[in-house]
A and B are shown apart, each in its own frame.
Chain A
Amino acid sequence: MISSIAGAIFSLEFVYVLTGIVLWLFAAMTFRDRANKRRRGSASFWVILGAIFIFGSVLPHWLTGVLVLVMAGIDGSGGVSRGHYHESTKAEQAQHAKRLRNKIFIPVLLIPIVTFGFAIAFRLLKLDVNRGALVGLGLGGVIAMIACLWITREKSRVLINEGRRLNEAMGAVNILPQLLASLGIIFTAAKVGDLIASGIHKIIPADSLFLLVMANCLGMALFTIVMGNSFAAFPVIATGVLSPLIIQPFGVRPEMVAIITLTAGSSGTLMTPMAANFNIVPAALLNMRDQYGVIRFQLPFALTIWSLHVILMWLMIKLF
Chain B
Amino acid sequence: MADLWKLIGIAIVIVGLALRLRTTLVVVTAALVTGLVAGLPLFSSEGFFQQFSYLARPGQEGIINMLGRAFADNRLMTLFIITLPAIGLAERYGLQEQSAAVIRRIAAATVGRLQIVYQLFRVLTGILGIRLNGHPSFVRPLIFPMSVGAAEATFGAASAEEVPEEIVENIKAANAASENYGNFYGQNLSPVQPGILLVFGVLNGLGYAASVWSLVVYAIPIASISVILAGIQFWLLDRRYRRKAEAR
Question: Which residues of B come within 8 Å of A, CB atoms?
Answer: 3-4, 6-7, 9-10, 13, 17, 22-25, 27-28, 30-31, 34-35, 37-38, 40, 43-44, 49, 61-99, 101-102, 129-133, 135-142, 144, 159, 161, 169-170, 172-177, 179-181, 183-185, 188, 192, 194-196, 198-199, 202-203, 206, 208, 210-211, 214-215, 218-219, 221-222, 225-226, 229-230, 233
Contact = CB atoms under 8 A, between A and B. Distances in A.
B185 A263 contact: yes
A117 to B, nearest CB: 11
Given A100-B94, A259-B215, A61 B68 contact: yes
Contacts of B192: 129
A22 B78 CA distance: 12
A248 B102 CA distance: 57
Contact of B136 (A133, A179, A285): A285
The number of chain A residues touching the other chain, given as a range, is 35 or more
Contact of A286 (B70, B72, B140, B195): B140
Given A56-B72, A179-B27, A312 B221 contact: yes
A115 interface: yes
B37, B83, B85, B101 — which one has the most chain A CB atoms within 10 A of its CB?
A: B85
Closest 9 pairs between A and B when the two form their complex, measured CB to CB: A162-B88, A97-B94, A163-B85, A64-B68, A65-B68, A76-B25, A190-B38, A297-B173, A144-B86
A104 B132 contact: no
A231 B141 CA distance: 28
B233 to A, nearest CB: 6
A102 B218 CA distance: 43
Contact of A59 (B24, B72, B87): B72
B202 A119 contact: no
Nearest to B166: A289
A144 B85 CA distance: 9
A16 B81 CA distance: 10
A293 B91 contact: no
A201 B7 CA distance: 17
A115 B86 contact: no
B137 A297 contact: no
B132 A192 contact: no
12 contacts: A56-B75, A93-B93, A108-B86, A108-B142, A112-B137, A152-B92, A186-B35, A186-B63, A277-B135, A293-B169, A301-B229, A308-B229
